[in-house]
């Protein structure tokens, strides 16, 4: 049995995954961890996405840590600031501040097989060693800036939703929003009544279903705080509602798709009266193929006289605004890029060098693969949270993350208790698992259209093809036989 000080653990990233892992390590009596975070504060997505209207699109009773449930969510879908405040509270409650190394970006990780340790190098040139790395650096982190000609010519302000500049005043300005995905459906209705003119550039319309958001009255919050059973019951019900709706958004089925389409069309009809406008807002691809969005007021924004939907292609950005290919110049003072993120899973987040000098990028040359999304053969003692093929299109990603944390902690306990040098997922086990995942992909709906879910070759290495509950059952229990276990 090795003691804690001989067993440094590095957690990369202080978002939900990293913070959740730190708490579970503490609960397991393992204290020898450090959390490395490249930003100056914790929070990940909820630190970075502060655009007007930014909120969770999964109910907060499910989109929160199961071991840190919060009776005080103000509404079903909490706003970004409230989620960030929750994470800050959790960090204080678990006294994680002194475990954090903020402003510290890991720029290289190299496995020393003789010693069974990972050597981590920071952007400041410091090095750290870790017996185990828990990598929770997120999949949708770095903004994707569109490659539109003339962007530098624009005389006004340009900002990405994930890097909102709160010093830019939008009141009474002409604002152009490029993109109509999950971020746009939140920002558009929130700023529509503030700005003088809102022009929304839609390349592809999205299926949007009703959010049915509501504030929790004070008595409900008191009840949930007083009787944790009700809080757990609320989480349980919301989890199973989203889970049982899952097949509508993930199976490639005409019948299920028709159900989704009718729900979305009902949402469109109740918000938009003009049949021509409805037509322009209606997607022509199968329901679920791209991420299904939730909103009660996005589509209604286009009924306003001061909001215009533009479906002509953008030709270029000019000094005064956005020129579309019909020759029209859409004048603007501010351009908002709601154009999404670079999928972090396409490559390793930084050079990660495993056994025999192989890099993770080499291992992922034909797409990111990992055993249950967590471990990659040749990269021992490295556990990914929110890794390949673990994203949900229908429920809270944290359900998956918690299973990954549980799996990693069992591996840490085994390494420690048996004095092992390394645990490396067996290549045959990893290959068999991923062959099964890709086989199941053929029954899923995601192959039928272009989205960030897919790699350039059309393969899907981002989403899990099935129910969250099934993933959790498969992933949360470590089977030591799946791993090559090597002692000193
Ligand atoms: P997104 O879903 O990838 O949407 C990007 C939008 O920008 C799309 O409409 C895309 O059009 C458009 N676009 C990209 N490049 C363009 C270009 N050059 N010209 C014109 N249009 C362009 O990005 P997102 O809305 O930021 O959401 C990304 C993901 O973040 C979501 O799927 C979700 O997982 C997560 N998210 C979650 C929440 C939440 O509430 N939990 C909120 C926001 C985001 P095409 O469709 O034609 O490519």
pLDDT tens digits for range 395-425: 999 999 999 999 999 999 999 999 999 999 9
Residue ranges with strand state E in 69-164: 100-101, 106-112, 117-122, 127-130, 132-135, 140-143, 157-160
**125: number of Cβ within 10 Å:** 7
Non-local (6+) Cβ contacts of 454 within 8 A are 446, 447, 460, 462
Starting at the earlier edge strand, list the strands of the sheet with 106-112: 127-130, 117-122, 106-112, 352-353
Lowest mean pLDDT among 26-35, 316-325, 455-464, 465-474: 455-464
The pTM of this model reads 0.95
From the CA of 147, give the closest atom in ligand 1. Answer: 18
Q: Look at residue 375 and tell me whether its pLDDT is greater than 50.
A: yes
Distance 352 CA to ligand 1 centre (A): 28
Supply angle C-alpha 476, 234, 468, rounded to 5. 30
Q: Residue 5 — very low, low, confident or very high, per pLDDT cuts 50/70/90? A: low
Closest CA to 336 of 209, 183, 438: 183
From the CA of 58, give the closest atom in ligand 1. Answer: 41
Which residues approach ligand 1 with their CB closer than 6 A? 55-57, 140, 146, 148, 178-184, 201, 203-204, 291, 314, 338-341, 452
Per-chain mean pLDDT for the chain: 95
Distance in angstroms (rounded) separating the CA atoms of residues 71 and 98: 27
Residue ranges with strand state E in 215-373: 293-294, 307-310, 314-318, 321-324, 329-331, 334-337, 341-343, 352-353
Distance 426 CA to ligand 1 centre (A): 36
From the CA of 184, give the closest atom in ligand 1. Answer: 25
Distance 329 CA to ligand 1 centre (A): 24
Closest residue (by CA) to atom 26 of ligand 1? 340
Q: Residue 393 — very low, low, confident or very high, per pLDDT cuts 50/70/90? A: confident
From the CA of 77, give the closest atom in ligand 1. Answer: 40
Distance 424 CA to ligand 1 centre (A): 36
Confidence (pLDDT) at 4: 58
From the CA of 294, give the closest atom in ligand 1. Answer: 40
Q: Residue 2 — very low, low, confident or very high, per pLDDT cuts 50/70/90? A: very low
Confidence (pLDDT) at 10: 97
Q: Look at residue 267 and tell me whether its pLDDT is greater than 90.
A: yes
Distance 222 CA to ligand 1 centre (A): 37
Token pair 């679920």: residue: 288
Distance 124 CA to ligand 1 centre (A): 33
Percent of all residues in the chain with a pLDDT value above 90, rounded to a whole number: 93
Distance in angstroms (rounded) separating the CA atoms of residues 53 and 72: 19
Q: Summarize pLDDT for 63-108 with one digit per residue, the tens.
A: 999 999 999 999 999 999 999 999 999 999 999 999 999 999 999 9
Distance 389 CA to ligand 1 centre (A): 19
Distance 182 CA to ligand 1 centre (A): 6
Distance in angstroms (rounded) separating the CA atoms of residues 446 and 463: 9
Q: Residue 141 — very low, low, confident or very high, per pLDDT cuts 50/70/90? A: confident
Q: Look at residue 176 and tell me whether its pLDDT is greater than 70.
A: yes
Mean pLDDT value across residues 241-245: 95
Confidence (pLDDT) at 1: 42
**β-sheet bridge partners, residue 127:** 121
Closest residue (by CA) to atom 24 of ligand 1? 340
Q: What is the dihedral of CA 319, 325, 330, 335, to 10 degrees?
A: -60
Q: Which of 142, 177, 183, 392 to mutate to test the pocket of ligand 1 (most atoms within 8 A of CB)?
A: 183
Q: Summarize pLDDT for 443-460 with one digit per residue, the tens.
A: 999 988 888 888 888 899
Token pair 């791993």: residue: 483
Closest residue (by CA) to atom 10 of ligand 1? 179
């Amino acid at each position: 049995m090795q003691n804690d000080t001989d067993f440094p653990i590095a957690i990369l990233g202080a978002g939900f995954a990293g913070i959740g892992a730190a708490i579970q390590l503490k609960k397991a009596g393992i204290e020898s961890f450090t959390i490395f975070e490249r930003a100056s504060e914790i929070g990940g997505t909820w630190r970075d996405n502060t655009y007007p209207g930014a909120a969770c699109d999964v109910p907060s009773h499910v989109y929160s840590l199961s071991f840190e449930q919060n009776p005080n969510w103000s509404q079903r879908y909490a706003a970004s600031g409230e989620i960030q405040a929750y994470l800050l509270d959790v960090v204080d409650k678990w006294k994680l501040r002194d475990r954090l190394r903020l402003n510290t970006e890991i720029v290289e990780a190299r496995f020393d097989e003789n010693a069974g340790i990972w050597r981590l190098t920071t952007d400041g040139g410091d090095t750290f060693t870790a017996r185990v790395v828990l990598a929770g650096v997120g999949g949708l982190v770095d903004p994707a800036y569109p490659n539109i000609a003339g962007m530098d010519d624009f005389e006004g302000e340009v900002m990405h939703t994930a890097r909102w500049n709160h010093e830019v005043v939008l009141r009474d300005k002409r604002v152009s929003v490029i993109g109509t995905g999950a971020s746009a459906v939140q920002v558009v209705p929130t700023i529509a009544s503030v700005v003088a003119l809102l022009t929304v550039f839609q390349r592809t319309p999205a299926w949007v279903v009703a959010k049915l958001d509501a504030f929790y009255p004070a008595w409900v919050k008191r009840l949930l705080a007083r009787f944790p059973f009700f809080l757990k019951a609320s989480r349980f019900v919301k989890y199973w509602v989203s889970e049982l709706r899952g097949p509508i958004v993930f199976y490639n089925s005409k019948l299920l798709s028709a159900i989704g389409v009718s729900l979305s069309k009902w949402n469109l009809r109740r918000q938009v009266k003009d049949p021509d406008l409805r037509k322009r807002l209606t997607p022509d691809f199968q329901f679920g193929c791209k991420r299904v969005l939730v909103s009660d007021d996005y589509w209604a924004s286009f009924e306003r006289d001061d909001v215009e939907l533009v479906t002509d292609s953008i030709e270029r950005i000019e000094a005064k605004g956005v020129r579309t290919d019909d020759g029209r110049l859409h004048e603007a003072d501010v351009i908002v890029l709601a154009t999404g993120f670079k999928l972090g899973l396409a490559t390793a987040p930084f050079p990660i060098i495993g056994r025999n000098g192989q890099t993770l990028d080499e291992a992922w040359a034909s797409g990111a693969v990992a055993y249950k999304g967590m471990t990659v053969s040749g990269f021992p003692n490295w556990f990914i949270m929110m890794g390949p093929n673990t994203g949900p299109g229908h429920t809270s990603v944290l359900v998956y993350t918690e299973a990954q944390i549980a799996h990693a902690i069992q591996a840490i306990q085994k390494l420690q208790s048996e004095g092992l040098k390394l645990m490396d997922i067996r290549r045959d086990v990893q290959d068999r698992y991923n062959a099964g995942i890709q086989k199941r992909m053929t029954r899923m709906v995601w192959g039928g259209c272009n989205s960030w879910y897919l790699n350039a070759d059309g393969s899907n290495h981002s989403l899990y093809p099935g129910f969250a509950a099934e993933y959790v059952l498969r992933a949360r229990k470590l089977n030591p036989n799946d791993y090559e276990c090597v002692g000193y």
